[in-house]
A and B are shown apart, each in its own frame.
Chain A
Amino acid sequence: MILVSCPWCGPRNSSEFRYVGESKGRPDPNAATPEEWRRYLYVKSNPADWATETWYHRAGCRRFFAVERHTVTNEIRETRRPAAQLRLEGGGS
């Protein structure tokens, strides 16, 4: 069992969550080229390292939040609310 610590509900079984995907900046849809938009939608960096991801607590508070997870060991070193994520990343998402 992988424990994921929801910023609202505390540690829960990972089966309560849904993995949404890698967190990355959303390009401006009015200015992005089709290639940039395609990369945003479909291309993942998929590192064998620490990755910042978005998870959804579907069986709990039903909130989205950020998770820093090592994709090889599944270790989770931090979970945080989206607002904190925005501040840490200087306004990106």
Chain B
Amino acid sequence: MAESTIADADAAGTPPVARSSISQAPPVAVVDGWEVSQRTSDAVLTLSDESALAKVVVHGPEAGAFAGAMGVAFGRATRRDDGVLVVGSSPGEWLLIGAPGTGAALEAAVAAGVDPAGDPAGDFVTMVDITHGRALIRLTGAAAPSLMAKICAVDLDDRVTPNATALRTSVAKLVTDVVRDDRPDGTRSYLLHCDRSSGQVLFDAVLDAGIEHGIDIAGFTAR
């Protein structure tokens, strides 16, 4: 159900079978079995829960043919033509973020590119669908760097962390993967993801830090 939309899901009456670790702001709809918020906001700084997006973590050799095939180096992220965001989140570790319900397809695509005989050096590739194990939120707005400066020690200036930068660091004292993924219109945007059990804490911490910037909760953007 990769191309499902909120309206389609509603029409199909898909029952919710999965819930984010983050409370959904009403109104709530169902996308691929996930309860997601449909709230709209015209605030200049918005925070949305994107946990329903498929998330697959891949571990493999940090150099060589496989790393080259992944198409992105450690510390960088790139959005493929099919809309999948490939993140080089750690040396020899990648995260694929795709549309809801595409986790199995993402795994199959990576597996198709792996030599079944294994790597001559003895390295192996492992994949795990962590969609249900991680919380993913998106912070969007020109004031996002100012907000992040209050809860994250990394310099988020353009010269240090330009668009498509990926890093794992401490955000609100939680180990968090930060991916700068600006909107197509150039608006500053960050994807933040952490362990599911810490999702609500991270969400609330970002909201608290954004009060002075007029932050508001927005609905699921499916991207």
Chain A interface (Cβ < 8 Å from any Cβ of B): 1, 8-9, 12-13, 15-16, 58-63
Contacts and interface: CB of A to CB of B under 8 A. Distances in A.
B74 A8 contact: yes
Given A61-B91, A63-B91, A9 B167 contact: yes
A60 B168 contact: yes
B175 interface: yes
A62 B75 CA distance: 14
Contacts of A62: 90
A59 B90 contact: no
Given A12-B153, A12-B169, A13-B153, A58 B175 contact: yes
Interface of B: 74-75, 90-91, 153-154, 167-170, 175
* Dominant SS among interface residues on chain A: loop
Contacts of B168: 9, 59-61
A72 to B, nearest CB: 25
B170 A13 contact: yes
Nearest to A60: B168
B170 to A, nearest CB: 5
Contacts of A63: 91
B167 to A, nearest CB: 7
A15 to B, nearest CB: 7
Contacts of B154: 12
Contact of A16 (B75, B90, B91, B170): B170
Given A9-B167, A15-B170, A59-B168, A1 B91 contact: no
Interface centre among A15, A59, A62 (most CB of B within 10 A): A59
A59 B169 contact: yes
Contacts of B169: 9, 12, 16, 59-60
Contacts of A60: 90, 167-169
B67 to A, nearest CB: 14
Nearest to A14: B153
Nearest to B160: A10
A60 B168 CA distance: 5
A16 B168 CA distance: 10
A1 B153 contact: yes
